[in-house]
């Protein structure tokens, strides 16, 4: 059962369609990356799913309920540029936000301390948020999104404004969270998506171009690359390999050859056979899937 | 529960930013400034010594009622101005910085958000007004003669509803603008226009809330509350509630992008 | 006469002093102001009643 389904979501701002007829479902326990170039409609989509703005058309359903209440109850949301009341301390802010989500004072306090531990801000909980660094604010932002134990955690570009250390911290945190939560996060950095997410949604011009598990999307690709490296460069290797019909292209790189192939299994057999029969001293044989970047660029430019 | 949470947070905000100290003090200083100057003016002029030989200074000392009205008039000008500028960013600043997005992503009711903020600010303003007018009354009675305390307190309570109207005007502009400066400008502009309109047609629209302070003046002189005061105050309350309702609707329609 | 002046003026002077002190405490605490802090110190101390008020309204940043 999907915990959330978005049905035919469309959002128009002053005649300009930002999100166009978007439909997808989120399975429980998955970490899903929403990918797309800048201006693809990622933030608008997330704001609709967070119940923060209303879709012009379509609807959002949680737990397949017919008459849903305010969807903000189900969602913990971290905006792209989280801004806090800087005069409050981290602890005060979390308790405040918890009480806004109908936790009792004690529940809010307990939960706040638990989350401050999780995001490693316990030592700074008495400090005013105005004195926090960017990474600390982002972690506090994640903590506030979790205060009311939401079914779905939505993070809008959670790492793109951070330095490498802050980025690492937040990615580790996401990896920890995905053990027992459903996460949807947007990013335009494909490495991040590949690193922590199970599924991807690829968005451009407000339309959904691709969706599915990362492995599945990789395996759908028509061509793959096999990377070969040798101790000494074999003579006439390019000429020899080109004879195979499974080989599509050969590219010489610094330390070896990147060979683009149609059918991986066929090509693997043929290549290994010729290597053995010719006695080339192979040092590396690797089947590379097309990078997410290739897929992304291909999908966006098509 | 949620409403109280926001109200308490707003009160804490006003406290942390020292508004609970400086706003009452400033209101008090406004309220005593004019009666005090009026009392000491002849003495100041005399001691300045640049009065021509033989000329007598004849500035009539104001009556107790006139002096008390001076306090109200100061608050009418400067008090309203301060009330507008301290509430110009109540929501508009949260919209422009983005705090709003974080807070409203929780299941917060728009009506709670708006009315709790309104009430917290109204609490601060009411306390400041009462303290200021009591201090003003104390100075006036010491310097100019007797005025019943209950009469002053009744006037102050009526006067608070005038500020309620001003604050609800500010909240309307807050609910759809993201620039606090523009909120302040348009609010003051609205008050000025309403005042001008009322003074042109004051024989027709005798119920205008802009006349509340005039009617309070009459009450201070006569000691009797005219029906016009009840009427204009009632209108002020009704318009305030309508404006609050309007600002909740406008805030709901607010879409950030 | 002089007694009366002291009795009435002194509390006002104290209030004004409180206003200045509170503004200076706030100025010390805030991270950033519009314009340099030393200018605000001058405005608060020498700006009469308006000085602290202007500081509280427009002085702080963020």
DSSP code per residue over A17-80: EEEEEEEEEE-TT-EEEEE--TTSSHHHHHHHHTTSS--SEEEEEETT-SS---GGGTEEEE-S
Q: Regarding predicted confidence, which is higher, B51 or A14?
A: A14
Angle at A241 between CA A237 and CA A242, to 5 degrees: 120
CB contact under 8 A, A85 and B13: yes
Read off the pLDDT of each residue in A155-172 and give the average, rounded to a whole number.
87
- Residue B56 is predicted with a pLDDT of 64
% of residues, chain A, pLDDT over 70: 96
Show the domain range for B132.
2-253
Q: Which two tokens stand for residue A167?
A: 């980025």
Question: What are the Cα distances from residue B54, in Å, to A128, A139, B44, B131?
Answer: 67, 80, 18, 44
B106-135 burial by CB neighbour count: b if 16+ within 10 A, else e?
Answer: bbbbbbbbbbbbbbbbbebbbebbbbbbeb
Mean of pLDDT over chain A: 87
Distance from CA of C5 to the nearest CA of B (A): 9
Read off the pLDDT of each residue in A217-221 and give the average, rounded to a whole number.
71
Q: Which chain A residues are Cβ-neighbours of B1 within 8 angstroms?
A: 99, 102
**Could you read off the pLDDT of C5-19 as tens digits, one per residue?**
788 889 999 999 999
CB contact under 8 A, C53 and B143: no
Please state which of the ranges A90-99, A186-195, B21-30, C15-24 shows the lowest mean pLDDT.
A186-195
Q: Which chain C residues are Cβ-neighbours of B42 within 8 angstroms?
A: none
CB contact under 8 A, A79 and B16: no
For residue A70, what pLDDT band results from cuts at 50, 70 and 90?
confident
- Residue B50 is predicted with a pLDDT of 64
CB contact under 8 A, C62 and A131: no
Phi, psi of B63 (to 5 degrees): -75, 170
Q: Does A51 touch chain B (CB under 8 A)?
A: yes
Read off the pLDDT of each residue in A65-69 and give the average, rounded to a whole number.
70
Report ipTM for this prediction: 0.94
A residues 111-130 closer than 8 Å to C (CB): 130
- Among chain A residues, the shortest Cα distance to B255 is held by A53
Taking CB atoms and an 8 Å cut-off, how many pairs form between chains A and B?
Answer: 70
- Residue A217 is predicted with a pLDDT of 75
Q: Does B249 touch chain A (CB under 8 A)?
A: no
CB contact under 8 A, B26 and C18: no
- Residue A124 is predicted with a pLDDT of 95
Q: Regarding predicted confidence, which is higher, A83 or A238?
A: A83
- Among chain A residues, the shortest Cα distance to B99 is held by A83
Element (H, E) at B104: helix B99-104
- A235 has a pLDDT exceeding 80: no
CB contact under 8 A, A13 and B104: no
C residues 9-38 closer than 8 Å to B (CB): 9, 12, 15-16, 18-19, 22-23, 25-26
Read off the pLDDT of each residue in C31-53 and give the average, rounded to a whole number.
91
Distance from CA of C54 to the nearest CA of A (A): 20
Domain count, chain B: 1
Q: Does C29 touch chain A (CB under 8 A)?
A: no
Q: Which chain A residues are Cβ-neighbours of C62 within 8 angstroms?
A: 86, 130
Neighbours of chain C (3+ CB pairs under 8 A): A, B
- Give, rounded to a whole angstrom, the gap between the first and last alpha carbons of chain B: 31
Distance from CA of A36 to the nearest CA of B (A): 17
CB contact under 8 A, A79 and B98: yes
Burial class of A91 by CB neighbour count within 10 A (0 to 12, 13 to 18, 19+): buried
Domains of chain A listed by start with CATH number = 4-218 (3.40.50.300), 221-301 (3.30.70.920)
- Residue A114 is predicted with a pLDDT of 95
Distance from CA of A284 to the nearest CA of C (A): 57
CB contact under 8 A, C22 and B18: yes
For residue A266, what pLDDT band results from cuts at 50, 70 and 90?
confident
Neighbours of chain B (3+ CB pairs under 8 A): A, C
Task: Give, for all 257 residues of chain B, the pLDDT tens digit.
Answer: 899 999 999 999 999 999 999 999 999 999 999 999 988 887 777 776 666 666 666 677 889 999 999 999 999 999 999 999 999 999 999 999 989 999 999 999 999 999 999 999 999 999 999 999 999 999 999 999 999 999 999 999 999 999 999 999 999 999 999 999 999 999 999 999 999 999 998 888 889 999 999 999 999 999 899 999 999 999 999 999 999 999 999 999 887 64
Q: Does C2 touch chain A (CB under 8 A)?
A: no
The strand pairing partners of A257, in sequence order, are A228, A252
- Residue C60 is predicted with a pLDDT of 84
% of residues, chain A, pLDDT over 90: 39
- Residue A240 is predicted with a pLDDT of 81
Q: Does B104 touch chain A (CB under 8 A)?
A: yes
Q: Tell me the C-alpha distance between B102 and B91, whole Å.
A: 13
- Residue A163 is predicted with a pLDDT of 85
Q: Does B25 touch chain C (CB under 8 A)?
A: yes
Q: Is A84 left (phi over 0), alpha (psi -120 to 50) or beta?
A: beta
CB contact under 8 A, C56 and B143: no
């Amino acid at each position: 059962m999907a915990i959330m389904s978005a049905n035919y979501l469309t959002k128009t701002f002053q005649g300009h369609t930002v999100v166009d007829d978007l439909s997808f479902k989120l399975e429980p326990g998955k970490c899903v990356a929403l990918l797309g170039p800048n201006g693809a409609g990622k933030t608008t989509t997330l704001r609709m799913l967070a119940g923060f703005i209303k879709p012009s058309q379509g609807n959002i359903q949680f737990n397949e309920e017919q008459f849903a209440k305010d969807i903000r109850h189900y969602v913990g949301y971290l905006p792209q540029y989280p801004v806090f009341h800087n005069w409050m301390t981290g602890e005060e802010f979390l308790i405040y936000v918890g009480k806004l989500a109908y936790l009792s004072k004690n529940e809010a306090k307990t939960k706040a301390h638990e989350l401050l531990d999780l995001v490693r801000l316990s030592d700074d909980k008495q400090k005013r948020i105005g004195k926090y660094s960017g990474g600390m604010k982002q972690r506090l932002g994640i903590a506030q999104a979790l205060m009311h134990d939401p079914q779905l955690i939505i993070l809008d570009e959670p790492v793109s404004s951070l330095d490498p250390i802050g980025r690492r911290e937040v990615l580790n945190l996401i990896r920890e969270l995905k053990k027992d939560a459903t996460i949807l996060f947007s990013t335009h950095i494909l490495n991040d998506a590949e690193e922590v997410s199970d599924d991807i949604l690829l968005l451009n011009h407000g339309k959904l171009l691709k969706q599915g598990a990362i492995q599945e999307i990789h395996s759908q690709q028509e061509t793959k690359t096999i990377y070969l490296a040798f101790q000494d460069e074999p003579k006439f290797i390019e000429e020899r390999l080109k004879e195979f019909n499974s080989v599509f292209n050969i590219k010489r790189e610094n330390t070896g050859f990147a060979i683009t192939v149609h059918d991986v299994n066929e090509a693997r057999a043929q290549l290994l056979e010729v290597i053995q029969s010719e006695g080339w001293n192979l040092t590396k044989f690797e089947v590379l899937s097309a990078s997410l970047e290739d897929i992304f660029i291909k999908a966006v430019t098509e | 529960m949620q409403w109280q949470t926001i109200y308490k947070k707003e009160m804490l905000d006003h406290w942390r930013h020292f508004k609970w100290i400086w706003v009452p003090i400033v209101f008090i200083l406004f309220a005593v400034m004019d009666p005090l100057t009026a009392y000491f003016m002849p003495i100041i002029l005399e001691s300045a010594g640049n009065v021509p030989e033989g000329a007598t200074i004849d500035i009539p000392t104001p009556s107790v009622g006139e002096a008390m009205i001076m306090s109200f008039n100061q608050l009418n000008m400067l008090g309203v101005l301060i009330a507008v500028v301290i509430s110009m960013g109540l929501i508009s600043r949260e919209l422009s910085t983005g705090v709003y997005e974080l807070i409203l992503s929780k299941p917060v009711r728009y009506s709670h958000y708006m009315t709790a903020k309104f009430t917290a600010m109204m609490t601060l303003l009411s306390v400041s007004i009462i303290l200021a007018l009591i201090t003003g009354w104390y100075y006036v009675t010491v310097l100019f003669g007797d005025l019943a305390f209950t009469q002053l307190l009744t006037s102050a309570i009526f006067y608070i509803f005038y500020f309620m109207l001003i604050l609800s005007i500010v909240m309307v502009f807050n609910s759809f603008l993201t620039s606090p400066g523009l909120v302040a400008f348009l609010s003051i502009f609205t008050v000025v226009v309403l005042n001008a309109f009322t003074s042109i047609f004051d024989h027709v629209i005798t119920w205008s809330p802009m006349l509340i302070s005039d009617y309070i003046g009459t009450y201070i002189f006569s000691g009797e509350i005219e029906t016009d005061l009840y009427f204009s105050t009632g209108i002020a309350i009704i318009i305030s509630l309508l404006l609050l309702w309007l600002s909740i609707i406008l805030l709901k329609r607010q879409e950030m992008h | 006469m002089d007694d009366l002046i002291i009795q009435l003026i002194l509390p006002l002077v104290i209030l004004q002093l409180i206003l200045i002190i509170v503004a200076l405490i706030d100025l010390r605490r805030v991270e950033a102001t519009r314009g340099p802090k030393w200018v605000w110190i001058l405005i608060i101390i020498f700006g009469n009643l308006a000085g602290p008020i202007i500081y509280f309204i427009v002085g702080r940043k963020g």
